[in-house]
Amino acid sequence: MLRQSEATAYLLRHSFISSEAIVDGDLALVDVSRRNHNLQVTTDKGPCYLLKQGAGRDGMAGVAHEAAAYRLLEWRAGSGELQRYLPRCISYDCSESLLVLELVSNSENLRSYHSRRGHFPTSVAATLGRALSAVHRYGTLALDCDTSGRFSGRLPWALFLDQPGLAIFRDISNANLQVVRILQSSTAFRDQLNELRSAWRANAFIHHDMKWDNCLVFSESASGRKSRLKIIDWEFADRGDPCWDIGAVLGSYLSFWLTSIPITGEEPPDRFLELARYPLNRMQPAMRACWRAYIRGMGLDVATSREWLLRVVRYGAIRLIQAGYEQMQAATHLTGNLVSLLQLSLNILQRPYEAIVHLLGIPLEAAEVP
């Protein structure tokens, strides 16, 4: 792994930074590691970068896959419509398992943005809908010309939580083990998961890990209004069902709402709905705006948009389970909020049309192209 001093020498050797930036002392390297070893590189004397270096065999494979995803997308990004939603991939060094990306300066992810503002702008939601439609349209066209075989179309791991492989038990928490047991003991959950696995359509290029943490909003104007957006972290991008991505986005709103309710576990959760820090009715205009912008960008006709909306809301329910599972990776006991996430997910899966209208706030006629 490159230490900060080694990273500076690497950047200088490959002319990513100038010696003046080092001499003037305005070069800063900040460790922002998550799954991989990540460094933010900022300077007043030139462009800023994010360095991603794979940690371990899985991490190295993930960084290589992300580099391939950027190459695929940038091949279709000449028109500029798709490029505006992607950070620029500067370089990939396979010998170092090092990916050099444009650093999106003065940005924050959507989770932080919504938490800080307590507001859910329809303009931002519509931008995200348009961004996903661009990814799905142009990325799918690029797949038609891809001969690498890298993008094979695997199904999301969350669809197999009722029948996990042995690998999942290496790092599973006690709380997550309880989630698996709940899903396995529920015939309704098992039937729904099996149906969704069978109906999966690997007919588009998708991000595969869409969530607010992977959406950066930023401003390029003096006003500071964060109206631009870029989608990051393409390690899991693959051939898949486009409804999975948009379902994940709408599921993020529902998860954010439900986890803001002070559920104690001793009283029915519906007694606390009015105490939600982020009420659902304040999110619904944003969810409608995101969906409408997406179907407009995809050019879906009325029949197709209605069919897709049904798949979208059911996938969103699975993303609720996934979000709760990821939040409990270090927990020993299930929380009241996680139990409520599981119950809400099952309710959506069993009554998707009611969920579309009453949770997403999308009248069924709004599935039509406005």
Give the model confidence (pLDDT) of 202-252 as tens digits: 999 999 999 999 999 998 766 667 789 999 999 999 999 999 999 999 999
What pLDDT is recorded for position 17?
Answer: 85
Backbone angles phi, psi at 332, to 5 degrees: -100, -25
> What whole-number percentage of the chain has pLDDT above 70?
93
What pLDDT is recorded for position 370?
Answer: 41
Give the model confidence (pLDDT) of 300-320 as tens digits: 998 999 999 999 999 999 999
What pLDDT is recorded for position 368?
Answer: 44
Domains of the chain: 4-102 (3.30.200.20), 108-367 (3.90.1200.10)
3-class secondary structure per residue, the chain? CCCHHHHHHHHHHCCCCCHHHHHCCCCEEEECCCCCEEEEEECCCCCCEEEEECCHHHHHHHHHHHHHHHHHHHHCHHHCCCHHHCCCEEEEECCCCEEEEECCCCCEEHHHHHHHHCCCCHHHHHHHHHHHHHHHHHHHHHHCCCCCCCCCCCCCHHHHCCCCCHHHHHCCCHHHHHHHHHHHHCHHHHHHHHHHHHHCCCCEEECCCCCHHHEEEECCCCCCCCCEEEECCCCCCEEECHHHHHHHHHHHHHHHHHCCCCCCCCCCHHHHHHHCCCCHHHCHHHHHHHHHHHHHHHCCCHHHHHHHHHHHHHHHHHHHHHHHHHHCCCCCCCCHHHHHHHHHHHHHHHCHHHHHHHCCCCCHHHHCCC
Average pLDDT, integer, range 34-53: 87
What pLDDT is recorded for position 369?
Answer: 41
Cβ-contact 216, 40 below 8 angstroms = no
Instruction: Using pLDDT thresholds of 50, 70 and 90, give the confidence band for residue 264.
Output: low
Residues with Cβ within 8 Å of 347's Cβ and at least 6 positions away in sequence, in order, are 355
Neighbours of 121 (CB within 10 A): 18
Give the model confidence (pLDDT) of 80-93 as tens digits: 789 999 999 999 99
Give the C-alpha separation, 364 to 357, whole Å.
7
Give the model confidence (pLDDT) of 139-152 as tens digits: 988 888 887 888 98
Q: Among candidates 322, 120, 90, which has minimal Cα distance to 217? A: 120
Region label for 168, one of left (φ > 0), alpha (ψ between -120 and 50) or beta (otherwise): alpha
* Strands 228-231 and 204-206, sheet pairing: unpaired
- Residue 366, pLDDT above cutoff 50: no
What pLDDT is recorded for position 75?
Answer: 75
What pLDDT is recorded for position 267?
Answer: 56
Average pLDDT, integer, range 94-120: 93
Average pLDDT, integer, range 115-120: 93
Which residue did the predictor score with more confidence, 244 or 335? 244
